[in-house]
Structure 1
């Protein structure tokens, strides 16, 4: 009975289905497979059959395809797409999880098939993650059509979700356990038989009994080679198909070479067999891969588990009544009721109630934060005290938790220069290993050494650069996970490398070194008839203008009843202007107002006036954050520190006088701040700038490394490299120390990996090692690298006692 050329299943007797492939009719088991194969031929994609390494999944029948299209049409519903489809300009983009991918040829087929489909602008398939990112024109095609098109060629697709990612991990984890368990059990059995020969435990047995034991060892080794070791062959095959080499290439050659030589020796009854070495090699290598898999998961689950904090349901408040609905169905402007002890289901603003919120899942800080009317709350945080109602301000897909996951995913896609160097070095190292092993074989063969083949195999095993390939990614993943646990998000993985070269650190004052919680401590109103400053028309005008600003100073101007403002303009670091009832007003720094200002009002923080008249002056009060002093003291030992502020010299000095900063720049406009940073960079300094990420975008973009402090509500800004979810600057010393430790760890990993391979190579070349010794040493080398990197997951950095520091420096 013949088998289906497409899926490999048995064909019905005298099957009527066939498709001409490579100029030859090939039998098909059903009309579904025939339709898929014909589609592949019609689209000139028959190379898929040439390069694939496994048979495709069974294709759906014609009737099933019609049903599938009807079911997939649901994915075109706008309400459903809101959760996973993003829109850019006039196009749409989605990330799909793919089922049915068996090898690299599948990714090749999907990419080229979609490239021919109308309306598809971009598509990229990640074979190892079984995911595709697709961008399309909604005016030409639809998501359901794309998914049906994929189904038509044998691949099921559905929108990617973290929950599905967790299932994928569990599936891989179970496969590792099965492969590792099989290899471990068989290794023990084969080793027991082999030890009898090595140590003469079996006495002088005859050749028939020896041959019998070898055949048993061959039977026990075969599933280890073809099941447990399959992960290495697939990796090697993918690399070769892409016209490259990776560390799986020498591994695969060593396993298969030893196995084939063992079969030959067993069948012919002459020569050495090393079945125990094969089993040990596969077992040890799988152990190191499994530990790497676990270490990566431990690092990534810190990010992925944030989604586990999100509740499935939410209490919707409508017309004085409450009802339980799915949290995913919440839309902007919905009102949600959250009781004490409940998890907040979505990002929003508190409209009634005062409470305390635990935000440890975001910032790592378990102390509750006081929240009241007008304050922002985030999905996944816990309401601890009182019942509150929250107005939804973000859709589920735009919530902070999802933004965190997206940022971390983007960061991990970018490799620092040391990682790129490691990748390149690994390829050259593999080529060198292959060349040395082959040359050694021919030299020993020419000298008549009967063990020439086994010496070559030993070299391939002993010098496998697995540890070298793990050196950088394992360390970076662990370090980034540690930082996220502390509420620090990196938007670029290579920023850790740049941190180790810093010489200068500059702080913005307001909202970075200080609390940014301004209050009006003194005011002057030009209208003498106004008895209460806060009830005057001038104060109401100032509040109306400041309502259009995100700057921390604007929070000092709060009033319920506001004037409508026309033509409102925000002038960064200067102030605001706008028209109220036909008159244009200016509110901001003295230098911003066009009218004449008496000297006694030049020290005010905020002035209000028209083109010709000064109407009011306001003096504000702010204070340093509780951890600013301790943080600056820690940093002062290693870096040159400074503050760049738009405030007056008097106000800045009054606040930062005790901080021992080497540089203080005051009354700096955005252009001035930019010039200060650029001046330092021109003379070779590496500068980090910390700001609030709102009005400091230009200078943050100019700095070598930029940090947005406590700006979680503005994660979409692209100016910064690092985001602190907490308003505190305390993570800075720990972050810089972790960067240094990461660099040291990567260097240690490199020196260990390279040093081990170089030191073991002469012994392997001289034939002083056996394959099982090489397998043990190579595996231990990889395990050491993984363990060394996993130490970065633990919290690092120096903890400073604030009270003792104040006493040491005589600060009151």
Structure 2
């Protein structure tokens, strides 16, 4: 890192601007600092640098950002060794602001990832603490004229409402003044054509000017402030175009007023009024679209009743509650945090998370989710997750992260937005100069240049994707679908093949032990179940859990050398016996003779033909028992698969189960292509083979053995009650275990992607058509301002159609 000789900020060496001043080489972080340094020296004011205390200046800058509010928001990233934080960036006014912040942060040494959500103004920043620190990152944001603040949901919503209210007041003021101004402008226009006494004309012009000043410098103040902020850092943004257009019309009118020409005060005011109208509607639309997050945030109580040993309950903020703390939960209260019932019992309404309206009984040892409603009994909750780690916080974070991650199609718009404003400024200047050189009247040349500036609209391009993604994520989350990025929408819209895992996906994932086939006369049914349960209790597989649930023995057995072989089975040592539990392949690999397995096949086949699964247990190379496990097909499975077929999608099912069981389940739900006895790597290979055929795939699964295929698929979808590994590997998670959500998700993705393409096409089409019309002098600045506002509003209202 290098230090700027003017502002003292550290910056990456690759961004160095080197300048020789008075024969001495100096380094700067940007051209602005270099220019100011040169100016101070050329004017003989270099004493400023000699007398300034460098350390104090640097410390003063550091004190400009209080890091304490940010410290509690820093979290460990999923990527090892990196830190993450969510920061609210004040001053975001258009898509160009988003582009600028992301570019500056992206070029900051040590910053691995930076995405700014235009809808919420929340930036997610990931950095390497060995290369930089949070203070340096925040200084980069400040250095380009924006103010980073500690992000919280409540403050975000307060800020959003304040922004919307401020826009409404400014628009109302401008609207009232513009309506009054039009009366005087109409009289002036009539006077220009029919003649008017000079004194009366001057009076009307002065009144028009007086009405323009508050409209321009109060209602339009945010545009001028944004433009000046950009100019200070040599950046041209959307505010610069608006301020230049309205300001030029005002200054030219002042000149005309004193030189006896026609004034255009109404043009300056109408530019501000129409664009404020567009901004207000846009802000209101973003507010409506983000209501889902607001409702989710409101589900979490702000305080909790904490129990301290030796004292009564005390009311504390949930942010101060730590893992292991005990909380008192009373009837009718929302549960503040995730945890486990320590004592007491109750029924809890979990519908806000699972979508299932039936209350769930909770007793000692039961897991409880924060944000759910305690209905009847009282209980003590032992906290297992802090406020930032709860299931509800994860849902909110997933929704917001998805909004910040952009589809690939947005990259085109980002490139255009980055160069748009400078190109328009140059085009407006060239247009004005051309018409002056061509001998056209001055007012025509200037008004045409203003029209070019005002009509150009990079905001519609910037909004085209983020707003549609935001509406999609909120609509999907309301249904119980969480996605991990905007690119998931694009991939899901293009899929043509859906692959399902069987157990826990097509079936309910709630298997029950149907029968036990005891093959060793020295063993009892209860002994077989007890041995198998001890080993399966260490496994995540749902079939093993069925055996555990059937174990009525109070005896607890110690298991040594536990090992799981995905797609085959498990093994462990109990009381000196190495016990193997799993499918036929697992038995063969453990040394059981194939003839012994074949002898049992006829009995097993009868169960498998009904869709049941048979699990074998052996030790010392001999079969000891077999467990018949039944897992019911989801009631909505057949209808969901028919809907996928109606959408033109091919459907396949893969399973680690045997051929007969897999075939029986496939026949029940109407799947023609079912692959049995597929290992985890085989599921992945099947998905990759489809890709080689040019297919775009969705893979739906819930277990550890599905993780490789979920990662390999174009879109991985994890069932909400699946394993953590499956959900981490997936691109989308179904909070509710409802297969009907998969065709809904694909339909919604197709609709959203279509609307994104419409938005981008419209934005390009608008600018390609409108800018040349303005250059040709066909459009008056007022018409241009209206067209510019309408362009953004089209994108806003088109995106909101996703909600329907």
Classify the TM-score, shorter chain: 0.7 to 0.9
Which residue is equivalent to 1:626? 635
Partner of 2:598: 599
Are 2:568 and 1:571 aligned?
no
The alpha carbon displacement at 1:155 in A equals: 11
Match of 1:718 among 728, 738, 760: 728
Q: 2:115·2:405 contact (CA, 8 Å) conserved in 1?
A: no
1:806 matched residue in structure 2? none
For residues 163 and 756 of structure 1, what CA distance do their matches in structure 2 show? 37
Which residue in the other structure is 1:478 paired with?
A: 471
Contact map agreement 1:196 1:202 (CA 8 A) in 2: no
User: Relative to structure 1, is the Cα distance of residues 368 and 280 closer, same or farther in structure 2, using a 3 angstrom cutoff?
Assistant: farther
Q: Is the 8 A contact 1:710 1:728 kept in 2?
A: no
Distance (Å, rounded) in 2 between the aligned partners of 1:26 and 1:130: 41
Q: How much does 1:39 deviate?
A: 4.1
SS class of match (1:507): strand
Relative to the length of structure 1, the TM-score reads 0.79
Counterpart of 2:645 (choices 612, 636, 639) is 636
Q: Could you list the per-position Cα deviations for residues 403-454 of structure 1 after superposition, in whole angstroms to 9, with x for gaps in the alignment?
A: 2233233323321122111222345555664455444434432332211221
Residue 586 of structure 1: how far off its partner (Å): 1.5
User: Which of 246, 258, 264 lines up with 1:274 in the alignment?
Assistant: 264
CA deviation vs aligned residue, 1:34-56 (integer Å, no higher than 9, x gap)? 9998547568x9xx9xxxxxxx9
Give 1:403's aligned residue. 394
- Taking structure 2 as the reference length, the TM-score comes to 0.80
Instruction: Decide whether aligned partners of structure 1 residues 233 and 574 sit closer, same or farther in structure 2, where only a CA change above 3 A counts.
Output: farther
1:501 corresponds, among 494, 498, 504, to 494
Task: Quote how far apart the aligned CAs of 1:618 are.
Answer: 0.2
Structure-2 separation of matches of 1:348 and 1:89: 26
Alignment of 1:390-469 (within 5 A): 390-427=381-418, 430=421, 433-434=424-425, 436-450=427-441, 451-469=444-462
Distance in structure 2 (CA, Å) of the matches to 1:759 and 1:748? 16
CA contact (8 A) 2:699 2:713 kept: yes
Q: 2:199 aligns with which of 205, 208, 211?
A: 208
| Rounded Cα–Cα distance in structure 1 between residues aligned with 2:247 and 2:70 | 46
1:800 maps to: none
Moved more, 708-717 or 184-193: 708-717
Q: Aligned residue for 1:306? A: 296
Shift of 1:25: 7.1
Q: 2:283 aligns with which of 293, 297, 319?
A: 293
Match of 1:12 in 2: none
Assess, with a 3 A threshold, how the Cα gap between structure 1 residues 301 and 90 changes in structure 2: closer, same or farther. same
Does residue 1:730 correspond to 2:740, yes or no? yes
Q: Give the CA RMSD over aligned residues.
A: 4.5
Instruction: Report how far residue 753 of structure 1 moved.
Output: 3.4
The one of 311, 314, 319 aligned to 1:328: 319
Between 1:581-590 and 1:748-757, the stretch displaced more is 748-757
Paired residue total: 736
Q: CA deviation at 1:182?
A: 2.7
Q: Is the partner of 2:486 in helix, strand or coil?
A: coil
| Larger deviation, residues 326-335 vs 589-598 | 326-335
* Aligned partners of 2:721 and 2:735 also within 8 Å: yes
Residue 280 of structure 1, CA deviation: 1.3
Give the distance between the partners of 2:649 and 2:339, measured in 1 at CA: 39
Contact 1:94 1:134 survives alignment (8 Å): yes
Aligned equivalents of 1:132, 1:492: Cα separation in 2? 13
Deviations 1:547-606 (CA, angstroms, capped at 9, x unpaired): 112222132123464312222222212211222233322122121121334324443622
- Report the CA distance between 1:689 and its aligned residue: 0.3
Cα 1:701–1:165, aligned 2, differ >3 Å: closer, same or farther? Answer: same
Q: CA separation in 2, counterparts of 1:401 and 1:121?
A: 28
Q: Is the 8 A contact 2:402 2:473 kept in 1?
A: no
Deviation for aligned residue 1:519? 0.7
Deviation at 1:672?
1.3
Q: Which residue of 2 aligns with 1:542?
A: 532
Equivalent position of 2:216 in the other structure: 225
1:230–1:157 Cα change, 3 Å: closer
1:793 aligns with 2:803: yes
Aligned to 2:164: 173
Distance 1:379 1:787, change over 3 A: same
- Write out per-residue CA displacement over residues 519-541 of structure 1, whole angstroms, 9 at most, x where no aligned residue: 1111023443555x2x32x3212
**Contact 1:250 1:464 survives alignment (8 Å):** no
Tell me whether 180-189 or 230-239 shows the greater mean CA deviation: 230-239
> CA–CA distance in 1 between the matches of 2:794 and 2:300?
37
Does residue 646 of the first structure (1) align with residue 646 of the second (2)?
Answer: no
Paired residues of 2:637 and 2:739 also in contact (CA < 8 A): yes
Aligned mates of 1:421, 1:761 — CA distance in 2 = 19
- Give the 3 Å change call, closer, same or farther, for CA 371–459 of structure 1 in structure 2: same
Q: CA deviation at 1:684?
A: 0.5
Asked if structure 2 preserves the Cα contact closer than 8 Å seen for 1:356 and 1:368, the reply is no
Bigger drift between 592-601 and 673-682 goes to: 592-601
Q: Could you report, residue by residue, the CA deviation over 1:640-662 in whole angstroms, capped at 9, with x for unpaired residues?
A: 00111111121122223132223
Deviation, 1:760, is: 4.2
Task: Give how far 1:678 is off.
Answer: 1.1
Counterpart of 2:14 in structure 1 is: none
8 Å contact kept, 1:313–1:345: yes
Q: Equivalent residue of 1:398, what SS?
A: coil
Say if 1:461 and 1:774, in contact at 8 Å, map to a contact too: yes
**In 1, are the aligned partners of 2:499 and 2:654 still within 8 Å (CA)?**
yes
TM-fit CA distance, 1:358: 3.1
Q: Does 1:706 align with 2:716?
A: yes
Distance 1:393 1:142, change over 3 A: same
Q: Which residue is 2:584 aligned to?
A: 590
Give, in angstroms, the shift of residue 508 of structure 1: 0.7
Q: How many Å apart are 1:185 and its aligned residue?
A: 2.5
- Please state whether the residue corresponding to 2:716 is helix, strand or coil: strand
How do 1:363-402 and structure 2 match up within 5 A? 363=354, 365=355, 367-373=357-363, 376-402=367-393
Instruction: Tell me, in whole angstroms, the C-alpha distance in 1 between the residues paired with 2:294 and 2:225.
Output: 28
SS at match of 1:791: helix
Change (3 A) 1:786 1:147: closer
SS of residue paired to 2:516? strand
Distance 2:138 2:239 in 1: 33
Separation of aligned partners in 2, 1:752 and 1:159: 36
Contact persistence 1:292–1:474 (CA under 8 A): no
**Distance of 1:554 and 1:389 partners within structure 2:** 31
Q: Is the 8 A contact 2:716 2:729 kept in 1?
A: yes
- Is 1:675 aligned to 2:705, yes or no? no
Unmatched runs of 5 consecutive residues or more in structure 1: 7-18, 29-33, 49-55, 795-812
Cα distance between partner residues in 1 of 2:507 and 2:453:
60
Question: Secondary structure in 1 aligned to 2:515?
Answer: strand
Shift of 1:782: 2.1
